Structure 1
Amino acid sequence: MPSSRTAPPPLLQVNVELPAWPVLERERRRLDAVRSATGRVATACGAVAAAAGLFTAEFAGASLLATVAASGAGLATLRLWKPGGHQKATATALYLMPGTGLVALLLAEQVVAGIHWGEALALAVWTVATGLLRPARLARRMMCPPPPPSVELAPVDEAVDAHPAARWWAANVAVDGGAAAGTVLEDVQRTGEQALRAVIRCAVPGEPVPDISVRRLSALMDIPEEEITIGPVPGRGASVRLLRVGQADETELDAAAVWAKRIAPTAMPGTVLTGIRIGRPEAGPTTTITTATATTAKRTETSPEGDA
């Protein structure tokens, strides 16, 4: 009777990303730097020992023992607790290349009598190749990936406004990969209980403010998108942009907003305030307000002393 059992489905691969530990990563970088410096010192010592072997055999035995001991100790730490496979075998061969080459060079110096030009050439080739290619370090990188580079927080620019909103912008929005990388928030003004107005400036002089995603700002600030507007600064170039967040109070509206909100709907429908000129014409002190409609332009003059 055939069995009714079926093979279990294959397990799904689950990738778990461990959180970064700054202290552990810093210690890994220090250990990697120590290993790199140790490799440089070992290469220099090997070159000196091989150069001395061209003239005397007095240090040949000690040099051979030191080379074998250093290579063996390093290989043990390289292979310890590492799974087997082609990568491990390749890394082992790479790691043994400098020590094997140095041992062969030291033995050749003992076999060949006197100083031979081939020995000097082999010493030069070994020193340059080991110092530039660094096969032992490459083997260790194969078995143990290098630690991530340290991320140094850039110092706060002196130009950053001391306002808390500007500081928050510099730490969360203007960072690399942020919604407005390379920008500075300045001239922050509160325009309501939960509203502000500020100027976004490019940190690089002469460069325009990059395109800023209102959607990303909305997600980052947890404010509805319709309450965030970014537009040009009147009279300024593309290196600055005007940021408005929230609904401004009535007392904080500028003249154009006051005209559009209070005066135009009832007194002069369809008009837009385009300019204000305050001066002292010949007729006396007057204030000239220029408005425009879709087809005509009007000018209204008022005087504190009465009709002009």
Structure 2
Amino acid sequence: MMLSADRMERLRAQLGTARRHIDTARSRVGRVATAAGAAAATTGLFTPDLLGESLLATAAATGTGLLFLPTHRAARYTEVKEHHQFHNGSSTITRREPSHQARTTALLYTAPGASLTGLLLAEQLVPGIHWGEVLAVSLWSAGIWWLRPARTARHMLVPPPPTKQTSDLAVTDQPHSHPVARWWAENAATEEGAAPGTVLQDIEQTGEQAMRAVIHSITPGEPVPDISLKRLSALMDVPVELINIGPAPGRGASVQLLTVGKADEQEPDAATVWAERIAPLAMPEATLTAINFGSMTRKEVDA
């Protein structure tokens, strides 16, 4: 069964949301593991009773993480370019060398667990509480919490999921600051609305009961979906013949121009008035080339 472009985009958005949720869950589990390790190291300063449990938990957490670390995605080779200069010119040779990405990420991933194991064992070798042990526990806790080597290792193999996609045209400090834009987002741009996946911008009132605005697709590179004028008419309670959606001059299909109502007639400019009303009667075939606005004054002449 073929899926429409709109449904495919929604499916991609749902998968992206799921990836972000999984990544957030992994991040929180890592934070909990770091806090547990810091608590175990602090406890080891005072009593050795929980040493065995702490070492076992550290080994289990590290081993489980390594088991699910996708090292198969690591690059096996890296390209190295060598530039050679000769008396009659130069040449560039590209050769492939084995990549150590898988080994590097594995070492990086095991760094927190291995260093915590060493810290726990060192605490038992020093009698009492030494200031060096306190400093080591503090450095381990702060360093792992800030550097997050396990998370860095995973992101070396699997890039973090992208943030929620929004069109750069639709991103503003206050994307729905205009009341009409807020109404559009809450009523027309919903998944079941008349214009899903869109945002309304550049809203301009062109008459007492008329407006003009620009519809943007929130997905970069995707066109504005087909919008039913009948559904929009029912939603806005405006006659269908007063609603028009068409291409925006000079823009692609991701942007559409929306007009509602009949715009007020504007007063013609001076050149139009001259060409249509004055010249045909007073000065046929005369063309107005320039207009200067100002005030005329009469100089007083001394007698």
Shorter-normalised TM range: 0.5 to 0.7
2:111 to 52, 77, 97: 97
Residue 70 of structure 1 aligns with which residue? Answer: 61
Larger radius of gyration: 1
Q: Structure 1 residue 89: deviation in Å?
A: 1.2
3-state DSSP class of the match of 1:147?
Answer: coil
Q: Structure 1 residue 46: deviation in Å?
A: 0.5
81-90 vs 92-101, which moves further: 81-90
Comparing both chains, which one has the higher relative contact order based on Cα–Cα distances under 8 Å and sequence gaps of 6 or more?
2
3-state DSSP class of the match of 2:281?
Answer: coil
Decide whether aligned partners of structure 1 residues 58 and 127 sit closer, same or farther in structure 2, where only a CA change above 3 A counts: same
Mapped to 1, the partners of 2:131 and 2:52 lie a distance apart of 22
Mapped to 2, the partners of 1:116 and 1:59 lie a distance apart of 19
1:157 aligned onto 2:177: yes
Decide whether aligned partners of structure 1 residues 34 and 116 sit closer, same or farther in structure 2, where only a CA change above 3 A counts: same
Mapped to 2, the partners of 1:73 and 1:296 lie a distance apart of 82
Decide whether aligned partners of structure 1 residues 159 and 114 sit closer, same or farther in structure 2, where only a CA change above 3 A counts: same
1:43 aligned onto 2:34: yes
Decide whether aligned partners of structure 1 residues 146 and 49 sit closer, same or farther in structure 2, where only a CA change above 3 A counts: same
Decide whether aligned partners of structure 1 residues 189 and 105 sit closer, same or farther in structure 2, where only a CA change above 3 A counts: same
Q: What is the CA RMSD across the aligned residues, in angstroms?
A: 4.6
1:1-308 → structure 2 map (5 Å cutoff): 21-79=12-70, 81-83=72-74, 84=76, 85-151=99-165, 156-160=176-180, 174=201, 184-189=202-207, 217-220=249-252, 252=265, 254-256=267-269, 259-260=273-274, 262-269=276-283, 270=286
Kept in 2, the 8 Å contact 1:163–1:188? The answer is no
Kept in 2, the 8 Å contact 1:71–1:96? The answer is yes
Residue 83 of structure 2 aligns with which residue? Answer: none
Mapped to 2, the partners of 1:199 and 1:51 lie a distance apart of 62
* TM-score, normalising length: structure 1: 0.55
Q: Structure 1 residue 158: deviation in Å?
A: 3.0
Decide whether aligned partners of structure 1 residues 185 and 265 sit closer, same or farther in structure 2, where only a CA change above 3 A counts: farther
Decide whether aligned partners of structure 1 residues 197 and 118 sit closer, same or farther in structure 2, where only a CA change above 3 A counts: closer
The code of the aligned residue for 1:121 comes to L
Give the percent of matched residue pairs that are identical in Structure 1 and Structure 2: 36
Decide whether aligned partners of structure 1 residues 117 and 125 sit closer, same or farther in structure 2, where only a CA change above 3 A counts: same
Mapped to 2, the partners of 1:86 and 1:30 lie a distance apart of 30
3-state DSSP class of the match of 1:267?
Answer: helix
Decide whether aligned partners of structure 1 residues 40 and 145 sit closer, same or farther in structure 2, where only a CA change above 3 A counts: same
Q: Structure 1 residue 108: deviation in Å?
A: 1.1
Mapped to 2, the partners of 1:186 and 1:157 lie a distance apart of 14
Aligned residues: 211
* TM-score, normalising length: structure 2: 0.56
Decide whether aligned partners of structure 1 residues 75 and 295 sit closer, same or farther in structure 2, where only a CA change above 3 A counts: closer
Q: Structure 1 residue 253: deviation in Å?
A: 5.8
3-state DSSP class of the match of 1:266?
Answer: helix
Decide whether aligned partners of structure 1 residues 271 and 101 sit closer, same or farther in structure 2, where only a CA change above 3 A counts: same
Mapped to 2, the partners of 1:71 and 1:110 lie a distance apart of 22
Mapped to 2, the partners of 1:295 and 1:50 lie a distance apart of 85
3-state DSSP class of the match of 1:185?
Answer: strand
Task: Render the CA deviation track for 1:6-60: whole Å, top value 9, x for unaligned.
Answer: xxxxxxxxxxxx9781001101111111111111111111011111111111110
Decide whether aligned partners of structure 1 residues 86 and 163 sit closer, same or farther in structure 2, where only a CA change above 3 A counts: closer
Q: Structure 1 residue 263: deviation in Å?
A: 1.3
Q: Structure 1 residue 149: deviation in Å?
A: 1.1
Q: Structure 1 residue 119: deviation in Å?
A: 1.6
Mapped to 2, the partners of 1:42 and 1:114 lie a distance apart of 26
